[in-house]
Structure formats: C-alpha cells, structure tokens
Structure 1
Amino acid sequence: IFIILTLSCAYQCKKSNKGTSTENGNEASRRNAHPMADVTIDSAQTKKYLQTYRERQELALGIKRFYTARNYKVAWVAEKGPIPHAEKFINRLEHADTDGLRPKDYRIDELKNLVDKARSSGSDEDITNLDLLLTTEFSRYAAQLNSGITRFEKEETGWLVKVAPTNYDSLLNVVLTDNSADPFVKVEPDHKEYAQLKKALNAYRSFASSGGWPLLSGITKLKIGDTSEQVVKLRERLTMTGEFRTGAANFFNPKVFDRYLEIAVKEFQTTHGLDPDGVVAGKTLTALNKTVNERVQQMMVNMERWRLMPKKFTPTYFLVNVPEFKLHVYDEGKEAFNMRVVVGKEFKSTPIFSDKLEYIVFSPYWNVPKSITLEEVLPAMEKNPNFLNKMNMEVVKGWDPKKAMVVNASQVPWANIEDERFDYWVRQKPGKNNPLGLVKFIFPNSNNVYLHDTPNDYLFNQVRRDFSHGCIRVSDPLHVAKFLLKDKPQWTEQKIKEAMNKGEEQYVNVTKVPVYILYFTTWVDNEGKLQVRDDIYGLDKALAARLGA
C-alpha cells in the first residue's frame, strides 16, 4: 500500500509540475512574441475612455494627439512592465500638496492597483488601462500645476492676464524622455518666484505640523521697555520666522521688551508692508496673530497665481504688484528699477490684466469720466457758471481725443448725458494741476487704465497707497519716460522735461513693452525673506474658496 501511495503522489506531483511548466512557458513565449511595449490601444477605446469624465474631455485633444503620434502604442510600459516614470509620477501625485495641490483630486489608488495588475498578469487589457489612466492623470496634473486649477474661471476670479495655451502632450513627451531623478519637475511653472514660494510653503507646513507659533493674547500694545509674559511669546514667534536672531535674548529677564526685540519687530513690519515703528499694536498685532495655516493658505493662493502666468517673460517688461503698491521695471531679464505707485481704492479697484505699452502722452488732457461729470462737475457748474474756467476745463465733442472739437458748454444737451450716443466730454487742459500730471503712459485696454504722473506727490509717502479711481500713479514719471525712450537718442532728458511742461499735448510712439498688472500678497524677495501684504481687494479669500484651500 505504501509503495502504491508513493508512486501515486510522485505521478501527481510530476503531472502538476509539468502543467505549471507548460503554463509558465506559454506566458513567457507570449511575452517574447508580443512584448508589453508593443501593446497598442484601440482608437475607439481611447475615444470612449476620454468621454467618461468632463476633465478628460477638456484634455482629450492633446491625449488623442499624443497617442496618434505614437501609432497608439503604449507609452508608460516597456518590455518587462511599467517604466520607472510610472512610479515616479504616482509618487508625485501622492505629494501634490507640496505644490499646493490636493492629492485626493487624483486617482492614485486606481493607478497603484493597475500597476500591480500589469506586473502580475501583463494582460493587454491591464496594460492599456494603465497607460490610458497614467496619460490622462498626467494631463490633469500638468494642466493644474502648469496652467492653474482655476484656468477656466478667469472672469470669475478677475485674473485677466493673457497666456498662451500649453500642449500637455508635448510636455509629456519631454518628461518621458528625461531619465533624471525627478523628470516631473519640468511640469512646474518655470518662475523662480514659484519655486521660492513652494519652499516657503513646505517650511510653514513644518511649523504647522509642530503646533504652529504662539499667538499673543490679553494685550493691545507692546513696546520697548514693557515687561510681560506676552513678550516671551513674541520673541518665540519672531524666532520661528527668522526676524529674531537666536542668542539676542535678554538674559536678565526674558519678559522684557528690549532693543533686540524692537529690531526684530521692525523687520517683521517691513516685510509685511507696515510702518516700521517697532511697536506691537493695531495692524502689527493682527499680522502677528495670523495663524500658520492662514499663511499656508495665502501661499497656496499666490502659487496658483504664478500657475496662471505666462510661461516666460520677455526680457523687457513692466510689472505692477497692486497689493505692494509698487512698479517693477525689468530690462534684459533683470530688474532695472522700481518705484512706488498709487492704485485704485477697493470700490474703484485696479483691474488685474496684461497688455502692451504703446505710446506716451506728454502734457495730457484729462478726459473726465462721465460718472464724475454727472456726480460732481454738473452740480458744480449749476452753482458756479464760471466753474469750468476756474478748473481749467473745457467741453469737447467727439470720441477721438485727437479730433475732438471744443464747444460752448451752454449749448450741450446735458439731460442726455447717460445716453450711449452722447458724445460730449468735459476735459481738463494740460497743466501742473491736471490729475494726470505732466505725462501718461498708454497700453490700450478695455479697462481704460494706464500709468500716469500726479500733482499729489505727498500720497507716495503713505504706507498704504490705494487712493485712485483705478489708474496707476507713478512716483517718478521722468524715469519711466527716459527708459521707454532710451532707443530714441533725440529724446534727451532735457527734451522730455520740455515736453512734459510745454502745456501742449504730444503723442510719442515707443517700442511696445508688455505690462502686467498683478496681485501677489506674498512672495520671497531677493534676500530670501518672505514678504506679506494685505489682501486689499479681498481677492485672496475669493480664490482660496475656489481652490478649496
């Protein structure tokens, strides 16, 4: 009996081994005859796949283009299975929050499952499903990271900066042929400001994970010489963010607000656009008591704005950062100079957009907006018939400022002023009291916004400078004019000054320069310090809500 059982077991084992060997051999021969890298995706399958989700439909053209160029061969799978880029990409998605994106927005678990299936079974269906999902998720990720989550909501967010579209299929080809440790870094916006904010974001996230910084309580004011438990918290708070240098503490009594702490407070105030008086009160106290998570959200919002920017700047351009109240002028890729500006009030906000500066107007007229004519000028004319002469104003007929004809104000049908066809305007003649000053710089746009001089120079001494009706007043118009006319040697500084003070309007064309009117409330400066500004128009809050930040 024992011999029979032994022979029977031996036979069964041999039969079983033979079957396994044959099965493995068939699989091996199938793969040798039909390598994974040669698997093709049916075009009809691709079309159906792309219709499944709205996001896929938005990106469908690029995905179709990508596979058509490859004759529908898989891109993410090689001879022995998924290429390393697949794992690297999934890892990128898992850490999408380092770029201010949300990992939960991506189908990470499904991707991991398909990678396992492709490795274990290697069936054509699993390979094509994996390849399609990797490509579509890459397209979604690249679109969000490279062009912005809110790229289709610019009207709603008020961000009307012009950008050229990105071909994500071309970007994917670049990434898949890059064998560096992190080829997907090429998807990130190619602006150093974005990379700097990303680094700061992750540093502040570390602060948050360790409990954040202490908040000040029970006080309305702290200044040098004060003694308080809150001084200890203040010193700790400023040490975390780098304004207070370790080792500069008051060793005799850490509760004393000493001169070293005052220096740190002044630095904090400077980097937050506040009056650097060294006193912790009012806006300074409010800024200090913003939580780490609030600052993290602010960085995420501003990183999104960089994603909505053009991929590259031209060597020469103007950039107005509205919350900073500053104009930055770049030449040959570097900042040539900057100056203070005055921007629109909250209820007359300066719009966020881009265009090209085309010409200068020396000794400009000021065309009074109809709203101001209706609300201020006409009532003043009724009270004082000599009002227009007193204010150096006149009435003209015609839309074209170069062809407008001066008319008698008493002959104008002012009752029809709100009619769209009403073509009479009040304008102020050139002169030192003209609200536009002695020169304006025009980049034609539907917002009727431009850069200009002002007779009210004292406003540039204010820390917060949102006083205009939307246009942007520059503190040094002569410098701007000299820069724009530098390629016209006949326009010497003396000639420019004469044109500004001549009292006769003069138009001068210039080489077109891109102008960006932007809205950044936090950024890292050239010294590596995080700069923070007030959300003067409430745009941060609105964008954060759309991002789900």
Structure 2
Amino acid sequence: MHKNGKFNNHFKILAVVSIVLSTAVFGFSAPSTGQYMAPAAEDAQGGKPSFLMKTSLGSALSAGRVGKAKFHDSKAMQVYYSTRENRPYWVGDSGPTGRAEKFLEILEASWTHGLNPRKYHTDEIRGMIEHPNMMEKAELELLLTDAFIRYARDLSGMRISPEAMKLDMKDWRAPMGSEDVLGFLAEGKSFDRVIKDIEPKSPTYKKLQKELVRLAQEDVGAYEQHLPIVFGGLMRPGWGHKAVPKLRDRMGLKQPEKNKMVYDDELAAAVMKFQRENELMADGVIGDKTLQLLNRTKHDKMLQLIANMERLRWSEGEKPDRFIVVNIPSATLWALDQGRVKLEMPVIVGSPWRRTRSFSTEVTGVRLNPKWTVPPTVKIFDIVPKIQEDPNFLVDKGMELIKGYGSEARTLDPSSIDWNTISKAELSKIRFIQTPGEHNPLGRVRILMPNEYNMYLHDTNHPELFDKPERAVSSGCMRMKHPEKVASFVMDG
C-alpha cells in the first residue's frame, strides 16, 4: 500500500459498446511479404504461367480493375504476383481449382459474419466458375485475390472510420494491411488453414454467429403482424387503451369476450414474465424500454447480432489472463480470470447527454477514500449554478478551491470569487477538490485506470440509484454496485 490509500496492480480493463461478455481473439500471425514466393501445395497447375496468363494478369493489374470491379490494392497485388513470377493461386491449366470453388462458398456465406457477399464479387466469380472461359482465367484469378484481401481485412478490424463514431483508433483494431493479408497465401499452407487463420476465433463470436444463422432460418413470428404497439406514454395494469388487443396478441393470449381494451391481470402477468426474462423491473408498467423490446422484430434481433459481431472484430486480439469488461448498453460489469467470470454486477453509466466513452486501458491500482477532482463539464454546468443559488454550497459539500500546482498551489476563499461573472477561462485555472467522506460522489473506492476521457470505475454515495430500471444517469464515469468486490479482484491479481 502506498500513501493516499493507493494500491498498485496492473491488468487490463475494457469498456466496450457491445451486448456481449467477452471480446474476440483472432490470433493472427501474418507472414511477411517475403513469404509469398512459390505456390501453395494445393496448386494444381505447376510450372510457369502461360504467356496469355502472364500478359492478362499484367494488363488487369495495371488497369487496377476487372470490368467494373476495382481492386482494393492493386499495388500489393502486383508485388504479390511479381514475387510468385505471375503464377496463379486460384486457377490451374484447366480452369478454377477446388480452392477457388471452396472460397466462393465461403464468400457466399459471409453473411453469417454480418458481411455483404456482393462486396466480394460473388456474382462475377460464380458466373466465371460455372461458365469457364479460358480467356477469363486471369480475370477470375484477380477477382478472387481481391476478394480475399477484402474479406480478410473486413474480418480483422474496423471497417468504418473511428472518427465518424468519435472513437480513438488506438483503442481498436485496425484492419490488416493488404501485404499481410496476401502473406497468408504462402507456400505449404492448406487453404483450410488459411481460412481458419483469418476468421475470428472467440467462443462468444461463434455463439453470436450461430444465433444469427438460427434466426435467419427461423420463420417470422406470427406476432410481428401486430407490431408496432404504440401507447403514447406509460401504460399501467388496469388502464385501458385501444392498443391493448395488439399487446394481448403479442403476448400470445386469447382475446376476452368483454373489456378487450383493458390491461387486465392476466395480461399484466404475461408482461411481468416478459420483463423478468429481459432483465427489466417486473412491475407490469410498460415504459419506453419494455415497449422497445416488445416491438423488436426478427430483423431487429439479427441487426443487433451483426452489430455486436462487428464490435467484437474491432477489439484487440490478445487478452490478458485477467481483465474487466464494462458493457455500456446493458450497464453491466464482468471481471474475468482465465476465461471464467468471477464477478458480474450492475453499474451506472453515462447519461445520453454525457455518455460513457468506449475505450481500453490498464488498471494501475485502487485508491481508498479518494478525493474527487471535479471534471470541467460538471464544474461548469452543475457546480457553478449551485454556488450561484447557495453561496455555502462548497463548504457544505466539503469542496476546496485550489489554484496552481506544487509549491505555487494555494487555496482560494469561495467568497472572494464573483460566481455570477466568472469566465470559463478563469474557471479552468481553479481545481474543485472534494474531500473524502459521505458527501463524496466517488464513495469509498476508486479504480485507477488512466485514460484521456478522465473516466473511471468508482463507488457512489447514492446506492439507491441501482434500484431504478434506468441506470444511464452519470456524467460519464462508471459507478459500481459492489466496489469492494472489484477492488479485491484487482488486488488478488
């Protein structure tokens, strides 16, 4: 233990925007471009490429496209084929090889990863394989190689700009470079092994993928014809509304002969069972969250699975033996050790206007009875207005005002400041520090986890908020229901 009640320990914490428990581990070990060299053992053709193949490859590579299909990275492809002496990987003397047909099947099934098969030239490739033309061998070869680059990149990292989502790229997995992707097509490696190497390996990812396939094969529920259900506000048991018959159909109940518009006890019991199954407060009151889940269609469920598979692919590959995941949408924390869940608990996360950010960082320790340095946003929009209403607010809350650092730091008298005219620039020079105690929002425990957003896990002096169904109420930090358990998990490592 160090001074100021700080305990040091180091392991990984992840705050991820996904409705999952763990993150995907890919286990990539990309060969270097120097490993392109000779064809793999499955190549059927052998020998040097024909003059026609060599000429056609060179022409299409120079153009950077086949027909309307533009290559993702023609330069990387040129290097790849130059290193192989223009020897094809996918086609032989008599046409497409078995690996070409196998890869087409994989591309056509890319929807099981939430990807769009048409991005990978599947229609063009299917046409060339089913109706082979010796004059199109080079075009087929290059379309397959370009498809492989695109497919492997899409499985290995973010497919969209992190800036568009206000995310920092350093926290997320970048797609593999084209040269590294082509390095997988190396000598002596079976194509089955190649595919196994590039696809996500996380058990959680596999479960989501299996569920996506199951949903795709499942018939649309009969209840969907009654959706959406709209109440226009809260709906409580005993109340009446014209949408109640729809709700009864949604819950699979028979319509009564009388009082069809009344939200009766039988219907309320079915709704409460639905709320329990979906981890909502089972009070029978239909608010926004319950109604959103009631109106969720098969298509909505599939989109949710696809979104979470996408997010898993963004996460870094290797995980430490012990780490913590905070699931922001479900406001839930998991602590994992050797792949097993040691802790699961609710947390309070940021409100819609002060969202908890998605990031990963290192846990560096635990601080007991912490002080709280008020963040700029809270200082400007929450604290200052309260001081303007009550000049004794800072004293009552045990807050100190500090200006300067080190030997130049000095404590300010709140009464010496005109809080009605103070500027943001002047406020930025003053630190608001709340002393430890029952009034401190950090409670008794703070988990130390440096990050650029100044967000961390901590205790709370308002535990009653955990009893509410809506837990997105903080200013961005994550409040733990059982902070002492998380602190023990950190220190046990």
Aligned to 1:434, what secondary structure does the other structure show?
coil
Output the amino acid matched with 1:134.
L
- SS of the residue corresponding to residue 485 of structure 1 reads helix
Distance 2:478 2:282 in 1: 25
- The equivalences for 1:203-222 within 5 A come to 203-207=214-218, 213-215=224-226
Residue deviations 1:241-261 (CA, integer Å, cap 9, x gap):
xxxxxxxx99xxxx9x99998
Q: For 1:95-106, what aligned pairs fall within 5 Å after superposition?
A: 95-106=109-120
Matched, 1:107 2:121: yes
Q: Cα gap change, 1:367/1:34 in structure 2, threshold over 3 Å: closer, same or farther?
A: closer
Correspondence 1:177 to 2:190: yes
Deviation at 1:80, TM superposition (A): 4.2
SS, match of residue 453 in structure 2: coil
* Local SS of the residue matching 2:341: strand
Shift of 1:132: 1.9
How far apart, in 1, do the equivalents of 2:369 and 2:92 lie? 69
The answer to whether residue 187 in structure 2 is matched with residue 187 in structure 1 is no
With the length of structure 2 as denominator, give the TM-score of the two structures.
0.73
Mapped partners of 2:457, 2:293: distance in 1: 31
Contact 1:318 1:330 in 2 (8 A): yes
Query: Secondary structure of 1:92's match?
Result: helix
Displacement of 1:409 in angstroms is 4.0
1:483 equivalent in structure 2: 489
Task: Assess, with a 3 A threshold, how the Cα gap between structure 1 residues 47 and 271 changes in structure 2: closer, same or farther.
Answer: farther
- Residues 208 and 309 of structure 2 are in contact (CA less than 8 Å); yes or no, is this contact kept in structure 1? yes
Is 1:406 aligned with 2:411? Answer: yes
Deviation at 1:41, TM superposition (A): 7.7
Partner SS for 1:319: strand
Please report how far the alpha carbon of residue 309 of structure 1 lies from its aligned counterpart in structure 2 after TM superposition: 1.9
Residues 97-135 of structure 1: per-residue CA shift (max 9 Å, x gap): 232222232322322344467x553x6xx4333222211
- Counterpart of 1:198 in structure 2 is 209
In 1, Cα distance between equivalents of 2:245 and 2:392: 65
Aligned to 1:154: 162
Change (3 A) 1:45 1:272: farther
Question: Retained in 2: the 8 A contact 1:460–1:475?
Answer: yes
What is the aligned partner in structure 1 of residue 249 from structure 2?
233
Q: Which structure has the bigger radius of gyration? A: 1
Match of 1:301 among 303, 307, 327: 307
1:321 counterpart = 2:332: no
Distance verdict in 2 for CA 1:292–1:46, change over 3 Å: same
Give matches, 1:325-474, under 5 Å. 325-381=331-387, 384-398=390-404, 404-409=409-414, 417-419=423-425, 422-474=428-480
Q: Does the 8 Å CA contact 1:212/1:291 hold for their aligned counterparts?
A: no
**Contact 2:223-2:250 within 8 A present in 1 as well:** no
- Computed over aligned residues only, the root mean square deviation of the Cα atoms, in angstroms, reads 4.4
Q: Which has the higher mean CA deviation after the structures are superposed, 104-113 or 342-351? A: 104-113
1:198, distance to aligned residue in structure 2 (A):
2.1
**Which SS does the other structure have where 2:424 is aligned?**
coil
After superposition, what is the alpha-carbon deviation per residue over 1:59-80, rounded to whole angstroms, capped at 9, x for unaligned? Answer: 4565456445534422113454
* Contact 2:61 2:77 (8 Å CA) reproduced: no
Change in Cα spacing, 1:277 to 1:66, as seen in structure 2 (3 Å) is farther
**TM-superposed deviation, 1:164:** 5.5
CA 377–302 in structure 1, closer or farther in 2 if over 3 Å, else same: closer
Q: How far off is 1:92 after superposition? A: 2.4
Using the alignment, how far apart are the partners of 1:387 and 1:219 within structure 2?
44
Q: Distance in 1 between matches of 2:63 and 2:486?
A: 55
Change (3 A) 1:422 1:281: closer
Q: Which residue in 2 is equivalent to 1:92? A: 106
Is the 1:41–1:74 contact (alpha carbons within 8 Å) kept by the matching residues of 2? no
Separation (CA, whole Å) in 2 of partners of 1:38 and 1:399: 74
SS in 2 for 1:324: coil
Partners of 1:36 and 1:80 within 8 A in 2: no
Q: C-alpha separation between the residues in 2 aligned to 1:78 and 1:341?
A: 58
| Higher RCO, Cα 8 Å, sep 6+ | 2
CA contact (8 A) 1:314 1:333 kept: no
Deviation at 1:427, TM superposition (A): 1.2
TM-score by length of 1: 0.66
CA distance, structure 2, for counterparts of residue 38 and residue 390 of structure 1: 86
Moved more, 86-95 or 421-430: 421-430
Q: How many residues align?
A: 434
Give 2:274's aligned residue: 268
Q: Once the two structures are superposed, what CA deviation does each residue of 1:357-385 show, in whole Å capped at 9, x if it has no partner? A: 22322222111233443444445545655
Name the CA distance, whole Å, in 2 between partners of 1:271 and 1:60: 51
The 3 A distance-change label for structure 1 pair 350 and 222 is closer
CA distance in 1, matches of 2:52, 2:65: 25
Cα pair 1:175 1:186 within 8 Å, conserved: no
Return the letter of the residue paired with 1:155. E
Amino acid at match of 2:199: E
Ranges in structure 2 where 5+ consecutive residues have no aligned partner: 1-44
Contact 2:251-2:271 at 8 Å conserved across structures: no
What does the per-residue CA deviation read over 1:411-457, in whole Å, with 9 as the maximum and x for residues that have no partner? 66976642289522121111121011122112212111111111101
Identity %: 28
Match of 1:15 in 2: none
